[in-house]
Amino acid sequence: MIDYLLPIVAVLIGFLFVIIIRPKAGKHLKLFLAFSGAFLLSLTVFNLLPDVYAHGAGKNVGIFIMLGILLQIFLEFFSKGAEHGHVHYAGSDHTFPWMLFISLSIHSILEGFPIHRHDTLVYGIVVHKIPVAIVLTAFFLKSGIKKWYIAVFVILFALMTPLGTFLSVHIDGIEKFYAQISALIIGIFLHISTIILFESSDGHKFNFTKLAVIMAGIAMAYII
C-alpha cells in the first residue's frame, strides 16, 4: 500500500507547500533538485541496472535504455522540461494544459512500473516528485490558469504513478516484458537525473554546497 500512497503524498506536499508558503524559486530549490537528481540516478545505478541486466540479454537491454532516453526527449517537447524542475508552458489560461498533462502522465505511469519490484525506488520517486509538484504549482499560479484546472491537474498527476504500479501488477503476461520495460524506464531516469544535475549548476562554477548535497543523495541511495 505504501507504494501507492507515497507518490500521491509527495505531489500533495509539493502542492500544499506552494499554496501555504508561497516560496520564491532560488538556491534552496536548486539544491533540492540536485539532491533528487543524485538520489534518483544512484538508485537507478545501484538497483535497477544490475537487476535488469540479470533478466535480459545485454545488447537488447541497452537498446531499450537508449529508447527510454529518446522517449523522454520526445515527451519533453510537450512537457517543456517539467520532469526535471522547470516549465515554460505557453498555453491559454482558459484551457486545460492537455499536452503538458499527457506527457507528464506517460512519464509518471512508466516510472510506476518497477516500484513493486524495488521497494527503495518509491523513495526516489517521492524525492523526485516533490520539487516537480512545487515547480508546476508555482508556475500555474503565476500564469493565471484557473484554480480548478490546477486542482484537477494536481489530483490526476498524483494518481498516475500509482496507476503505473497497479497496471504492472495486474496486467496479465506483463512479467514477460519486465527487462524491456525496466530498461526503458532506466533510460528515462538516466536522462532526467543527469539533466537535473546539469541544470542545477550555476554557470558551471564549483559549488561546495551543491557537491555536498549530491554526495548526500548518493550516500542515502546506497544505504537504503
Residue-level pLDDT at 190:
94
The CB density around residue 222, as the number of other CB atoms within 10 Å, is 11
Domain residues for 40?
Answer: 2-16+29-87+97-223
Nearest to 24 by CA among 115, 180, 142, 114: 142
Domain presence at residue 24: no
Domain presence at residue 23: no
List of E strands, the chain: none
Amino acid at 161: T
> What is the grid cell recorded at 192?
532526467
For residues 117 and 175, the answer to whether their CB atoms sit within 8 Å is no
* DSSP code per residue over 112-170: HTTGGG-TTHHHHHHHHHHHHHHHHHHHHHHHT--HHHHHHHHHHHHHHHHHHHHHHHH
Nearest to 136 by CA among 112, 156, 122, 113: 156
Cα torsion 41, 209, 216, 28 to 10°: value is -70
Q: What are phi and psi of 6, to 5 degrees?
A: -60, -45
Collapse the DSSP code of 215 into the 3-class scheme (helix H, G, I; strand E, B; otherwise coil) and give the result. Answer: helix
Total number of domains in the chain: 1
Domain presence at residue 22: no
Collapse the DSSP code of 97 into the 3-class scheme (helix H, G, I; strand E, B; otherwise coil) and give the result. Answer: coil
Domain presence at residue 175: yes
Residue-level pLDDT at 94:
60
Sequence length of the chain is 224
Domain presence at residue 40: yes
Dihedral sign, Cα of residue 114, residue 51, residue 57, residue 186: positive
| pTM: predicted TM-score of the whole model, two decimal places | 0.87
Nearest to 136 by CA among 150, 156, 116, 126: 150
Domain presence at residue 202: yes
CA distance linking residue 109 with residue 160, whole number of Å: 5
Residue-level pLDDT at 8:
94
Domain presence at residue 184: yes
Domain presence at residue 199: yes
Q: What is the chain's pLDDT, residue by residue, as a tens digit (224 residues)? A: 788 999 999 999 999 988 888 766 566 778 888 898 899 999 999 989 988 888 766 778 899 999 999 999 998 888 777 776 666 555 555 677 788 888 889 999 999 998 888 878 899 899 889 988 888 888 888 777 888 888 889 999 999 999 999 998 888 888 888 888 899 999 999 999 888 887 766 655 557 888 899 999 999 999 87
Residue-level pLDDT at 67:
95
CA distance linking residue 57 with residue 110, whole number of Å: 21
